[in-house]
Chains A and B, each alone.
Chain A
Amino acid sequence: MTTSEYFGTRRDLLKLAGATAVAGTLADHVFAEARGSVVVVGGGFGGATCSRYIRRLAPGLDVTLVARSKNFVTCPFSNMVIGGIRELASVTHGYDGLRRAGVTVVHDEAVAIDAGNNGIQLSGGDRLSYDRLVLSPGIDIKWAAIDGYDEEAAQRMPHAWIAGSQTRLLRDQLGAMEDGGLVVMAAPANPFRCPPGPYERASLIASYLHQHKPRSKLLILDSKDGFSKQGLFREGWERLYPGLIEWVGFSEGGNVVAVEPDTMTVHTDFDTFRPDVANIIPPQRSARLVDTADLAEGDDWCSVDQRTFESRVVPNIHVLGDAIIAGAMPKSGFSANSQAKVCAHAIVSLLAGEDPPEPAFINTCYSLLKGDYGISVAAVYRLDENGEIASIPGSGGVSPSNATDEFRQAEAEFAKGWYASITADMFG
């Protein structure tokens, strides 16, 4: 089928699907005749988007979303909660919009994939069967990758890399800290969830300290020698918070190897620190659910066909978002949202016996250095000749350096606009 056939027959198909089925849920190409069951695990960026778009494209499909809890707290903008400029409630979303879109939402935990029988076991005892399974389960922390950093240690030295109670804990620790205190952040080596995330967080912690506890210091101990949007972050730190943030890269001894939560001690290869607040962002891996079907084959991340997001290991299972290596795309909420749409189109096409359309992806990651100071990195992607997601040469890149205040202010406004739009795109 040509693209103009795929995208060009909407009007007839819309009529076929019936006006009520598509009211408010535009379809480019409504697969009205598609039948079957799709189970989506993970009610975050990838999973919410994918289930909503599948229903939009193929109102005849049964779509069940397995979401762990009644609410989803987004990591995007959780750094603003930590910096005290937003409340946790404002980054918390429910699933009623997805229910209105015809998605069956089940609040449970998926415990085992039974790929041989196209089924998935939930902890509550139910078992769901699928024609196609979508997993967007995000990350799990690699406990003990840093010596001494386990689940208990995270209660004393929060990672706050999965948003919710960890976010609140870190914010409250910063709130309780005396002026003149030392905050240490450990940042992991690549790849990890949200490459600019630690540095946005450092900025917003600095913003809080600058305003409320100006004699304090923030030390970033990094397991790598460079980071996303580095030039722009450092330019901003110098301007906004001179002397407050110190960054120590891997070669300068920044690699955190061990922690002792009882004595609030952080060890690098060469040094020992005793901070008042320690935000340890440890190495990560795909959420452990994938191991029940050996989808990562002992690796940290899953490998998929980047056109359809079908696992390269087990057929009929699609994996997307942070849990996979997706060519040149970073692990971001925008990436997961983008991949979820491509995956939704692929799945409805496959279930209708058609070829999936040619993928396209966009990612724009905004970072705030202050409530009204934003920077971004953007890229547009398509498949290269090897079927790998590659960014298009000559496009994308980071915000200009030495831009005016108005420009940074505009990007901060658009960061907020992006957040409003993408959460509406996901949750309705």
Chain B
Amino acid sequence: MKTYRWPSKTAAGRNSVILPRIGNWLAPLLVSVAMSAGGAGAGESWTGLLAEMCAACHGQTGKSPGSVPDISELDAQAMQAFLTGFRDGDIEATVMDRIAKALSDSDIKALSRILTENWQLLHGTPDEENDNQ
């Protein structure tokens, strides 16, 4: 059992006008979710392209220019916890619950890894930032 916080940037940043209003559905400020340790399996194959689909709402780096929650700061574990929680009904959502129901444990694991790796590349890891200086 692990405890996650919604990334502070999201709560404090541009979403703050909306998040308090939507309260329970989208900003579980403190979420406890049982982690599943499912390994990569059949789910691997389609998750690469599935990861591309998230940008339509969450932006290409996990940061929407609009009101969709900023997920760019989540690490793979937290992402996995959110998706699992949405799917299993442990975290309330408006639409992510319906979407996450399409995912197996291994899908969630693969998707979380791919998304967070992609975004890390975009933001640049600390090493890469140093290289550029």
- Interface residues of chain A, those whose CB is within 8 Å of chain B, are 2-4, 6-7, 10-11, 14, 19, 24, 26, 28, 53, 334, 337-338, 341-342, 345, 357-362, 364, 376, 378, 380, 382, 392, 394-397, 399, 406-407, 409-411, 413-414, 416-422, 424-425
Contacts of B29 in A (CB 8 A): none
Q: How far does the alpha carbon of A418 sit from the alpha carbon of B99 in the complex, in Å?
A: 15
Per the bound structure, the CA–CA distance linking A4 and B39 in Å amounts to 14
Residues of B within 8 Å of A7, CB to CB, are 48, 114
- Contacting pair A28 B99 (CB below 8 A): no
Q: Which residues of A contact B66 (CB under 8 A)?
A: 416-421
Q: Which 8 A-B pairs have the closest CB atoms?
A: A420-B66, A417-B66, A395-B102, A380-B102, A417-B67, A360-B50, A417-B68, A410-B22
**Contact across chains for B49 and A360 when beta carbons are under 8 A apart:** yes
Query: B89 within 8 Å of A by Cβ?
Result: no
Residues of B within 8 A of A14 (CB): 121
Q: List 23 A-B contacts (CB under 8 A).
A: A10-B118, A26-B60, A26-B118, A26-B119, A341-B52, A345-B49, A357-B45, A358-B48, A359-B49, A395-B101, A396-B99, A406-B22, A406-B25, A410-B22, A413-B67, A414-B57, A414-B94, A414-B95, A417-B57, A417-B64, A420-B64, A420-B65, A425-B55
Q: Identify which of A11, A341, A396, A418 contacts B101 (C-beta below 8 A).
A: A396
Q: Is the CB of A422 within 8 A of B56?
A: yes
* Interface assignment of B18: CB less than 8 Å from any CB of chain A: yes
Docked-complex contact B51 and A3, CB < 8 angstroms: no
- Contact (Cβ within 8 A) B56 A397: no
Nearest chain A residue, comparing its CB with the CB of B18 = A413
Known: A413-B22, A416-B67. A382 touches B57 (CB 8 A): no
Q: How far is the CB of A77 from chain B (nearest CB, A)?
A: 12
Q: A407-B94, A414-B67 are in contact. Are A337 and B50 (CB under 8 A)?
A: no
- Which one of A3, A10, A406 lies within 8 Å of B117 (CB-CB)? A10
Q: How many interface residues does B have (CB within 8 Å)?
A: 45
B2 contacts the other chain (CB 8 A): no
Is B49 in contact with A421, judged by CB distance below 8 angstroms? Answer: no
A10, B45: Cα distance in complex, Å: 16
Given A406-B21, A421-B66, 16 new contacts (CB under 8 A)? A7-B48, A10-B118, A26-B61, A337-B56, A358-B49, A362-B50, A364-B56, A364-B57, A378-B99, A380-B50, A409-B21, A414-B57, A416-B67, A417-B57, A421-B56, A422-B57
Instruction: Name the contact of A4 in the complex, choosing from B44, B68, B94 (C-beta under 8 A).
Output: B44
Q: How far is the CA of A22 from the CA of B33 in the complex (A)?
A: 36
Given contacts A10-B121, A359-B46, A362-B56, contact A409 B68 (CB under 8 A): no
B59 close to A (CB within 8 Å):
yes
* Interchain CB contact under 8 A, B67 and A28: no
CB distance from A182 to the nearest CB of B (A): 36
Evaluate contact between A358 and B46: CB separation under 8 angstroms: yes
A58 vs B54: C-alpha distance when bound (angstroms): 20
Q: How far is the CA of A359 from the CA of B66 in the complex (A)?
A: 27
Interface: B47 (CB within 8 A): yes
Which residues in A have their C-beta under 8 angstroms from that of B119? 26
Instruction: Indicate which residue in B49, B60, B61, B100 contacts A357 across the interface (CB closer than 8 Å).
Output: B49
Asked if B45 and A421 sit within 8 Å, CB to CB, the answer is: no
B25 contact from A19, A26, A410, Cβ within 8 A: A410
